[in-house]
Structure formats: structure tokens, C-alpha cells
Chain A
Amino acid sequence: MSGAGAARGRSVSALRERLGRLRSGTGAGSGPESGRRDGESPSPRVDDLRARLQRMRRTSQRAGAIRAERDEAALCGRIDGRPLAAGLVVRERRLDAGFRHGDIAADGERAGEALRFFAPALGARPEGLVFMDTETTGLAGGTGTLVFQLGLARWREGALEVVQYLLTRFEGEAAMLEHAGEWLSGMRALVTFNGKSFDAPLLAARYRLAKRPDPFAVPVHLDLLHPVRRAFGAALGDCRLGTVERHLLGLEREGDIPGHEAPRAWFDWLRHGEVHALSRVLEHNRLDLLSLAALLPFLHQCYRDPVARGADPRIVLPPAARGPGSDSAYRYLRERRERLDEDSLRALARCARRRCDWSLAVEIWRALAAENCIESLESLAKYHEHVVRDFVEAGAATSTLIALEPDAARHRHRAARLRIRRGAPSDQLD
């Protein structure tokens, strides 16, 4: 250690000691051990502090000793990757179409069809479709959160190309952002899982900090979390990727490192040169990418035939549940109405009403009204009052409604109006 270095070391330790002391009292109340001793020492806190400082020094010495063993070549060997730039390694893979991922056989043609389904403007070519997933130093967001591993995948010439960039030092970030930007050229659509609120904004921040344009800012970003939630939210509860894999793709990961342990794995590499956990993070990220590739066509099938796949049948209708639905969606639901649950039946009846397909609508409402379904009873009352002007039938439905919801004023208003209409010329009160 040079003379200046030694002086710096001394001033750091003095500073550390002062900080430790200042800090020990800023929190809330302390336990009963504080402030009790009769000996000559001016304060029991000083001993306490000394112990803490010793602990602190030991860890920092350990960190220093092991850091020397950080071995990039060993890391590359372990993950079967190669150095790409200073502080950056890459692992590349090609998987021929048809590879199995859980119960799914993945291929590019079906990914293309799925893309056309979810983003009709783009056409059916699988080219330019990029799957993306990152591993980061934290979940809190903000400019201090780093993407230390970026995984990308795309279909090309009958195979899935997977590229995984891994930083071995902070220095490698600029090269990673640059290489990824080149790799992405020609990208037309981005597919992620929860990437709209997490991965993409983080990468945008990283590109901004590096003062480069953000190549991920493409017009089409398909975040599969949302269609999954719509189709399976009620059935799955939490829609995390692991849950989706287990229940939908039939994939059980073995020995997988949980995503939240990823930051620690990278820190341990940086501080202590530990390779094992980091290699597991890469494997975790690779599986995430394959799941994205498998999930996209699977979801497409679900959206085309939800009843067969156990998804919510209503996903064939537009999300806001307004309008009559497309002819094909209407036909789809009508043909399967014996297999629909109550919610879907109600949705089908709404479509039928908007299409003035009264016989189907009334059939469903009658069936559900027998189970005291409020919406169906009300629809029946309206239908009888306004469409067929059968005030007696309308009154019967309204009486049931009043019995079910005695506090709802609108039922009583309807009942009063119907009483008048039964005795008055009909066109005066419409």
C-alpha cells in the first residue's frame, strides 16, 4: 500500500468509526440492553460499536481476498459462452423448430400465425419477432438498477436463435447495449412477459444513461402477461410465469434458481468470483425465453378455442365486452352454449340482445332467471316491457327482483311504471 493509500485507509477507518457512532442512535427506540453499566468505560455503546466495526472489517477483507479469483475463462467454460467485449460474455444457441418445451412443441410458423392474431397489422411472418427477458440487480427500478443479463430470442430459418448477454463487469454494459442494438435490427415486434412495466422501462433508462437510442422502443410490444391474465386469471390466481408453465405448458423446472435470487448471484460473482449461482441464472433466463416462445402459439390456440383449452370463453369477445362481438365469436359461443359457465352465458346473451337474436337471449335469460340471476331477470323485464310490451310478464320478473333486492329503487320504479302502463294507453308513457 502506498503512503497516500495508507493515509486514505486511516482516514476511512476514522470516518467509518464516527459514522457508526452517529448512526447508532438515529432509529426508533432501542432495546433494554442500551445504557446499562457501572464500569469505568464511558459508554457501553463504544464496545458495541467496536464489535460491529470488527465485523465490518472482516467482511471487507474477505471480499478483497476472494475478488482476486474472479475468473472469466472459468465462467465461460461453465456456461459454454465466449467473451464478446471487455466485461461482456455471450452465449448463443439454435434450437430447431419442433423442440419440446413442457407439453409444447414450439415452431416458428405457429408463432407467426399467433403474431398475426395478436397484432394483425404485422402480417404472419415470424421474422422480426423478438422474445426478450432480463435479469437485473433489483426490482425497485430507478436509474441505479442495472440489467446485468439480457436474453433475446427469435425465429430464423426454421430455428429459434437464442442469444444471452452477460456482464462480467460494469464496464461491459456499453458493449452489451450496442451489440443488442445490432442484433435487434429488423425487429418488428417485441414479446415479453410483464416487460411493459418492468424490462422495457429499465432498458429505456439504461440506453438513456448510455446516451444511445433505445432499440426496444418498437411500435408493437406484446406483453403476454395481459392476455394470460384475461384468459386464465380466474383459474390461476397469480399469473406468474412459473405458474403459467406448470399449469398451461406442463413444464416443471428442476433446480431452478428463483428470479429474486438473481441480483445476489451477480453480486457474488462480482465480489467473490462465484460462478455456480450465476450459471443457474443464465439457465433460468434461457428457460424464460423458451417459455415465451412456447407460450405465444399456445395462447393463440387458447384464444381461438378457449372452451377446449379451459380458458375463459369470453376471450373470444373484445375485452371491453361491448358491441355484438364478431360473427365468428358469436357462432363459437352459441355452438358451445351447453358447455359455458354462467358468466359466459350472460356474455352470450348480451351479444344476442345486441344482435336482436331474441329467441337465444330469452332462452338464456329464462334459464338463468330460474337461478335468481339479477342481470337476467332485469333483461327479461326490459325485454317484456319494451320489446314485446307484455307488461304482465315484465311485472312478474320485476316482482321477483323486488323480492331479491328490496332496497334497489330502480326495481320499484319499474314496478310502478308497469302498473300504470297496464292501465294506460301505451304510447303516452314511452
Chain B
Amino acid sequence: MAVSSALLPAESGGGEQRAPEPVAELTARLEAGHRRRICAQLVVPARDGVYTELPADLEPRLAGALRRRGIERLFRHQARAWKAVREGRHCVVATPTASGKTLCYNLPVLQSVLERRTKALYLFPTKALSQDQVAELTELDGDGALGVRVFTFDGDTPGDARKAVRTRGDIVVSNPDMLHQGILPHHTKWAQFFESLAFVVIDELHTYRGVFGSHMANVVRRLRRVGRFYGVEPVFVLCSATIANPGEHAARLIGSSVETIGESGAPQGARTVLLWNPPLVNRELGIRKSARSQTTLIARMAIRSGLKSIVFARTRTMVEVLTRYLKDVFDADPRRPPRIRAYRGGYLPTERRGTERGLRAGRVDCVVATSALELGVDIGALDVCLLNGYPGTIAGTWQRLGRAGRRRRPALGVLVASSQPLDQYIVRNPEFFLGGSPEHARIDPDQLLILLDHVRCAAFELPFSDGEAFGDGPLPELLEVLQEEGVLHHEGGRWHWMAESYPAGSVSLRTVSEGNFVVVDTTGGASDVIAEGDYSGAAATLYEGAIYMVQARPWQVEKLDWEGRKAFVRRTEADYYTEAIDYTKLDVLERFGGDEGGGAGAAHGEVHLVRRVAGYKKIRYYTHENVGYGKVNLPDQEMHTTAVWWSVEAARLEAAFACRASALDGFLGAAHAMHSVAALLTMSEARDIGRSVGDRDAGWFTAPGATGRVQARGRDGDEFDVTDPAREFQPTLYLYDNYPGGIGLSEPLFAMRSRIVAHAFELVSACACPAGCPACVGPVLAGAGASRSPKALALEVLRLLGGPEPDAPPARMHS
């Protein structure tokens, strides 16, 4: 964050107190009543705008349209973008939410349409964002009577309108999936459009990371390749929320260097951010009150103060649970319109649009959302943003906090820590978050599987010629592999498509596997689709017996048709919700390298991973006690990816631990800490990396049992006795790249292998808990009854793996 900020200790109180201002008043009340829960406070002071005059060469009609909307001057960053785009340079605008980013591209694009009738392609990651954009452009067009034709082109565009969009649209607003499957493979139909294509706008750049971003970079390669066929080299304008590397990321995404416009000239109201740790309820076990209870407490206060609030939760289930708790208070009367709304992926578009309208109109007082609302969907101005748990990244945290805040009024953000280690680390080391750089967006466009998919699609679009390049990947070899597969044919220096298939149809940009699930309500003999879910989440949310919630109303899954991708549900009145129990087993396929020896070692390579949802827990509302278990019978999810693993020589293990069970507990605790540290050090989200403890030769692996206690299981999933002295005992700790094929995380992990161990050692040893807690070695079960504490066992394993770095300074990983 490039802001001038004052980091104040909580005790000194925060900022100036302006009594009549409700946000300041709420902040003061929180400080007065809960001082010990506030670990840190940051006040980002209000900022004035930096303006420049409208460009001299701006079309008078366009200037008129701006003036009619009350825009007499531009913010400095808008003027810089104007200059760069007018001079034909690719640029990325990385300024905060509500800083007027859309004008950065709309202005030069509209100008060029008016001057030379050029065409532009706008890409948004979701359909909802496209519709917002068209609405805004149409308004601007109407204000200036510009006669610019703006159309959306997506799956909802009716067949008879498509031709008009292709031939008459000046600005076509679409999404990457449509470009990939609907436009590029039919580019000859779009010939007129491509021949005049001068600009490509990619908004929400920060969402194109990981697998999606790697796919997107290849779609851009294909777009530019088709553009060259029609003799155009469009200028790219990209917009991003806060990330560490907008320029580098944009350059990698489009494959050309990009000018970065990073300093916002827009005014902003003051923003107060509180880091909030729930009070301890059991010091021995390090157990705190739940984040959920604190979030609802603060939300209730905000809503009662008449402030518009947004609550972000990390999971869809938590969105529903929090919504229910707030609805129980504020929406008790079913005859009144709801004041509390839930918003998450999986809801039907009409449902989401309704909530967005309600927010803009001020009818909704509080929305509880997943990251689905992190994007620039227009929801009007809000005052308070509550984060139920650390979102996992600094960038994601600022993006969510940015959803509250108006240009001239103060805003409040509260990050409520959960008991997860990352959360606890953040509240204990506030400077890590408040002063830290946001994460890098990483993509790997040359990841082999993704690259091959797009080489296939590109070859369908236009034959490759010998000597042609496609990114930095091994194109000649890939073309030969495709020829062996029988889809390409090399003749006369060109690689021709020679198959009946339509390759883009079987390549999904968002996930590696195909097929959305629909949720069908069969209550009372009906058959209504009430929600959709993506393939990757289905196993963990739509198993038979699961409680599935929409707007906090529960349905129970009665039947899951895995092949048909349908879940049949029925209304229920359950007083509990469900959580899946899953586990992972892992085989090493190929070892790229390592430095085993000296009693312990680390290596990295390719692994095969099987994830299975074995059952689920029923959790009662309010008390959060387990009230039952169920079995789940679903196909395994398989994945090939890359991993780093650590192990200790058997003899040293025997010497260090009294029994094998203790050693295993030590590995599990160490894995917990190393996973957290690895996510921090690679600046990625915790879910980007997976962890597992198992046998080096995949003879057994660990998984939680029905009681929640982790135990060893054999290859078939049955219990496995690691203490049998007839068997070799080689526990191994794996951290893996949690994307099929990997997105390049395990290489940096391997390079940082000793730092990961060293920092994990510091994290655990510096934790204030006596015997281990969720913040260091993971949840500790009461009465585990071993002679050494889980914390001591984990430290022992970490010591064996290399322990504290002898010469490294103890960084900022201590509290």
C-alpha cells in the first residue's frame, strides 16, 4: 500500500474523535468497550484529489458528456493513462477501488471510436461485471449523444443478435471464456471486428492469477496471434486492484512490456482499520472465542448505528451461518423486506442482481459475502467492512476492505482473527500486515498442460508455421506431440488441424476438470434449480446428507448424481450444518532433485495425489458441538502436481522419540507450522499450498478419524498400525502445489527449504502457549496424554529437519 499511514499502538487511542460522525462514533465505542481485543489500529488519513485539466484534444462531444456528469477535470492517474494509450503504449492502472479506473480506458477508447471508428474489446472475468460496464458506457454515450455502439457478447447473447454484435459493435464487452470458446475459434466471422481492433481492455487483472491467469495469458497469446493475421496490434489497457507486481504481472499476462500507473489522484475519506483478536477462553489450550461471535457482535453494533456494512467470510458455509445469526436478530419478521442478505458464488444470477440492487438502493443494511463481492461489482457506498478471518493474503485483505469507503466520508474496517495460525500470526505481528507489501500475482503461462491445451486451440484457429513461437514454451515438441496424437498434420512447413473435434470446447479456463453441478430443489415434487456449484467444490459441499444453504435457508442433499452433475435437495428444518471430512494421499512419481543425507533431507519432484471425502460432521447452530457423523461415498479426486518433501533418517527418529506415535504427532505439528510459513514466504494463499504427512513410499498416510483425531491409514483407507516394529517407519512431510500440474510454487518452496524449517521453528518456539495451540501446531486435543506436549514434539521434528538457521538473522517471524 502506497499510503502515508500512521501505525499506532492500540493504547494510544485512534485519530481525532468527531462526535457526530457515526463511523467515528462506532470506532470510539469499539475502542472503549473492547480495548484489549484490538491488537492494532491503522488510520489512513483522508486524501485530497490531484487533478489535471481535461486533455486539450478531447472530442468536444466527449468533454460535453463528462461535464454533464459533473466531471470538469481528470484525476492525475486518468490523465497519465490517457497519454500512454494515446501514444500507443500498453499500460496497467493499479489504483484503489472507486478511484475512477474505468475512465482511464473509456476515455481514450471512446475518443478513438469517434475519431477513426476503431473497435475495442473489453474483457471482464464475470458476466455481471460486463453488464455493469455496458450500463455505464451506454449512459456516457447517451449523455454525449456519441452514437457509439456498445454490446455484450456472452453466453446470453441471443443467436440472432450475434451477427449485429460482430459487424456493428464499436465496443464489444465479453469475458475470457467467451473469447476462448466463442470468438477466437470463429475469428473469420469476426473479421471486420478484428481488422479494426485497436484496444483490448482487461479489467480486474488481479483475478487472473494461478490456473485461471495462466490460461488467460495463453488466450491473450491466441488473441494477439489472430490479430496479427488481420494485421492489427491492439493496445492493451489493464486495471488491477492492489497487488505487489501489477506491471510485471500485466507484462507476463500480455507478453509485452507495460507502463505502470500506480499513484491514485482520486480523493479518499479517512479509513480506520482495526485488528481484532477474540478473547481467550482457555489459556491452557490456547482456545479463543470464535471469530464468528466477534464478527456478529460488531456487525450488530454497526447495523444498529445505521451504518451500511459488508461482512466477508472465507467459506460459503460460513456466509450462510453468519447470515442466519444476523437474520435471527434483524429479519425476524418475515413480512418485512430483508435487511440482511447473503451473497456468494453458486447463487443464481437473479438472486445476486437482486442483492446488488438492494445494496445500491440502500434497502439492504448488511451483506454477508465470500470473495465473490471482492470484484468491482457496483454495490454502492458502504461504511463498515468486517473480515471474519484473515482472507489469506494482504492484497485480498485490502481489496475487501476497499469495498467500504466513500470519497469524502470515513470508513471502518475490522479484521477479526480466527484461531488459524496465519490469523494469529497477523494479529500478533501487526506490522506484517499493516506495513507489509501485498502479494505477487503469479502465473505460469508455460505450464505444460495449460500450454498444450492452448497450442491445440491456436492450431485450430490458424495453422502454425515452422519457426513460429507461442510464448516461451517448447512449441516444436508440442506440435510433434499433437501430431502423434493425430490432431495435427505437418505439411509444407505448416501444422494443419486434422481432427473432427472443436478443441476449445473441451478446455475450461477456470478449472482443470469440466462440468458445473446444479442444485435441484425437489421439495413437494418440484424440480427447480436453486444454485450452481463448480466441479472442484462439489465433493466437499454436495455429498448426500449435506446441509446446503441459500440465504441461510437449509436444504438437505438427498441424492447426488455425480455423472449427471446434479444434486437433488429438499427443504429441511435442521438445527445443524455439515462440514466435510477429507483426506489426501500422495505418491512420488519423479524426484527432480534434493539434498538428502546428513540424517535428514528435503527433495522435490512430481507427485500423484488422491483426495477423498470420507464423511462429514454435523455441527449444531450456536453451540457448535458435533452432533453426528455421516459417511460419504464419492469418487476420488486425483491430481498430478509438484511437491517438496522432508524426512528424517530412521535411526535418528528412533533415538529422538520414545515411540512412533509421538514422532508422528511431531510431524503433524511441524507440518501445520511449515504450511503457514510457506504460504507467507511465497506470498501465496494458504489454499494454494497443500500439506500431507505420510510414508515416504506411500505405504500409509495420515487422515483425521471420526473423532477428529489424526491417525495413520493404509493405502485402502483402513487404519494402519505404524507402531508395528516389523515395518519400516519413514514419516515424510509434504508441501505441494495445490493446482493440477502445478503453477510453479514448489520450486521456490524447495529453494527456501531451510528458511521454511527455520521460520517454522521460530513460529512454534515463540508462541506464548504452553503446550501447543491452533496458532502454532494446529488444534490440540484435550487429554492427548503423551509425556511430551505437541509443541515439544513438533519442535523436536523441526530441530531434526535443520532447526533454527544458525547464521540467519531471526527475521520478523517472532512476536
A residues near B (Cβ < 8 Å) are 8, 11-12, 15-16, 18-19, 21-30, 34-36, 38, 42-43, 45-46, 56, 59-60, 63, 137-144, 146, 169-171, 201, 204-205, 208-209, 263, 267, 270-271
Contacts and interface: CB of A to CB of B under 8 A. Distances in A.
Interface string B484-512: 10100101101011111111110000001
Contact of A35 (B461, B478, B503, B587): B587
Main secondary structure of the interface of B (DSSP, over half): mixed
Given A19-B452, A29-B635, A60-B484, A267 B502 contact: no
Given A138-B501, A144-B497, A11 B477 contact: yes
A19 B513 contact: no
Nearest to B490: A170
Given A142-B502, A208-B188, A26 B608 contact: no
Contacts of B191: 208
B636 A26 contact: no
Q: Nearest 5 pairs between A and B by C-beta?
A: A29-B635, A144-B460, A138-B500, A140-B502, A144-B497
Contacts, number: 161
B26 interface: no
Contacts of B67: none
Contacts of B741: 22, 26
B392 interface: no
Contacts of A29: 562, 634-638
Nearest to B491: A170
B587 A19 contact: no
B640 interface: yes
A143 B640 contact: no
Contacts of B462: 143, 209
Nearest to B585: A35
Given A16-B481, A21-B606, A26-B513, A143 B188 contact: yes
Contacts of A21: 589-590, 606, 640
A29 B500 CA distance: 27
22 contacts: A11-B477, A15-B481, A25-B640, A28-B535, A29-B636, A30-B635, A30-B636, A35-B608, A36-B715, A38-B699, A43-B608, A45-B587, A60-B484, A137-B497, A138-B499, A138-B502, A141-B186, A142-B504, A171-B492, A205-B189, A270-B498, A271-B489
A56 B485 CA distance: 8
Q: Which of B189, B476, B481, B500 has the most CB of A within 10 A?
A: B500
Interface in B619-635: 634-635
Interface in B170-189: 185-189
Contacts of B501: 138, 140
A192 B460 CA distance: 27
Nearest to A204: B188
Contacts of B535: 28
A204 B489 CA distance: 23
A15 B474 CA distance: 9
B603 to A, nearest CB: 13
A144 to B, nearest CB: 3
Given A18-B606, A144-B497, 9 more contacts: A15-B448, A25-B640, A26-B513, A27-B513, A28-B635, A29-B636, A137-B498, A146-B496, A267-B498
Contacts of A139: 500
Contacts of B186: 141-143, 205
A38 B715 CA distance: 9
A26 B740 contact: yes
Contacts of A171: 491-492
Nearest to B740: A26
Nearest to B187: A143
Contacts of B661: none
Given A12-B481, A29-B638, A22 B448 contact: yes
B217 to A, nearest CB: 18
Contacts of B638: 24-27, 29-30, 34
Interface string B584-613: 010111100000000000000010111000
Contact of A42 (B448, B588, B635): B588
B459 interface: yes
Contacts of A142: 185-186, 460, 502, 504
Contacts of A137: 497-500
A199 to B, nearest CB: 15
B449 interface: yes
A22 B640 contact: yes
B18 to A, nearest CB: 56
Interface in B662-707: 697-699
A139 B505 CA distance: 13
Contacts of A19: 448-449, 452, 481
Nearest to B489: A270
B480 interface: yes
